[in-house]
Structure 1
Amino acid sequence: MSDLDAFLSGDRPDDVVLFISDSYLDDDSRLREVGRETDGGVRVVVDGETGRSAFKAGTGMDAMAFAKEAMANEGEIAHTLDGGACPFADEDPEADHEVRFVFAFAEAQNEEVGGLYAEGDVVHAYAHCACGESYSHKWVVGTRSD
């Protein structure tokens, strides 16, 4: 099972996933050495503390501040955490709406909170688009296969 598959199945709850697109990441970035190359960039699955530091190094942003900002806009982020559909694409169809980076973590099931959290572990994913907007998507582990 790959690191990503283990994360998406809830087996790595203390880890985070980072995706940085080729258009955003420097060619000589250390993330290219430690991550897995995808069609559009580099994806890494690492422990949470390392991941937050790597996110800051790769994007210049604090991971949790970015997540808080992105929560204001719901969009769709690919199950593979390396792409998405910007919710602002209809407002500005001429703009580039390619995902620049994604940050994701999982939160354990919590029946007291209710909603999705009562159904199982929840993946929280946050994306930043080339148009400058950020957005979020969350789902219960095991409910997506796209």
Structure 2
Amino acid sequence: MSNPREEFLAGDRLEDVALFLADSYVSDERLERFGDRVDDGILIVVDGERGRSAFQAATGTGAMEFAKSAMSNEGEIEGDLTDGHCPDASDDEDHAVQFVFAFAEAQNEEVGGIYAEGAVVHAYAQCTCGTAFSDRWNAVDEKSTS
């Protein structure tokens, strides 16, 4: 595997972070130099420190502060990190993910639960409605990456 995105999603890049920035949120063609163009934005995988700085520059919010604010509100984030389902969405409302911040944590059998099963991807998203939410899963679960 030589694709940083695939390696990250497989739990093989524990020192890195992933950022998804929707075109509707940040439109800057220069970002394509740092990541992969996806249908509705850019997905960037970089080392943790640079990633946290890039996240703050793009969103105006500290990455870990954002993660803490989203942590208590569980939603569903797609396994490819480019979309999700806002927990505050109803059928008659239009909700879309503006950005996602994610990191992977190594397997830890002592903690138990999903941590004992393999590396865990922690993902935090911001919806167009303003709701921040989180999701997590085992990297080996291979959530949809399409």
Instruction: Give me the TM-score of the superposition, normalised by structure 1.
Output: 0.92
Q: Provide the residue aligned with 2:4 in structure 1.
A: 3
Structure 2 letter corresponding to 1:74? E
Cα deviation per residue 1:79-121 (whole Å; 9 max; x = unaligned)?
110110111102xx44431000000000011112111111111
Q: Name 1:62's counterpart in structure 2.
A: 62
For residues 40-119 of structure 1, what are the structure 2 equivalents within 5 Å?
40-90=40-90, 93-119=91-117
| Distance of 2:119 and 2:12 partners within structure 1 | 10
Alpha-carbon distance in 2 for matches of 1:56, 1:145: 27
After TM superposition, what 4+ stretches of structure 1 lie above 4 angstroms from structure 2? none
Distance 1:8 1:34 in 2: 17
Q: Distance in 1 between matches of 2:28 and 2:92?
A: 27
Q: Is the 8 A contact 1:6 1:12 kept in 2?
A: yes
Other-structure match for 1:19: 20
3-state SS of paired residue (1:7): helix
CA deviation string 1:27-49 (max 9, x = no partner): 35x42332211110111000000
Moved more, 128-137 or 94-103: 94-103
Q: Distance in 2 between matches of 1:7 and 1:130?
A: 26
CA distance in 1, matches of 2:119, 2:99: 23
> In structure 2, what is the equivalent of residue 38 of structure 1?
38
TM-score by length of 2: 0.92
Q: Return the alpha-carbon distance in structure 1 between the equivalents of residues 143 and 79 of structure 2.
A: 7
Paired with 1:96 and 1:25, the residues of 2 have a C-alpha distance of 19
Distance 1:95 1:23 in 2: 17
- Opposite residue 131 of structure 1, the aligned amino acid is C
| Cα separation, 1, equivalents of 2:45 and 2:23 | 17
Structure 1 stretch 3-12 or stretch 123-132: which is displaced more? 3-12
SS for the counterpart of 2:88 is coil
80-89 vs 107-116, greater mean Cα deviation: 107-116
Render the CA deviation track for 1:15-38: whole Å, top value 9, x for unaligned. 11000000110335x423322111
- Give % identity: 57
Is the 1:102–1:126 contact (alpha carbons within 8 Å) kept by the matching residues of 2? yes
CA deviation after TM superposition for structure 1 residue 9, in Å: 1.1
Match of 2:138 in 1: 140
Structure 1: unaligned runs, 5 residues or longer: none
The one-letter code of the counterpart of 2:37 is E
Number of aligned pairs?
A: 143
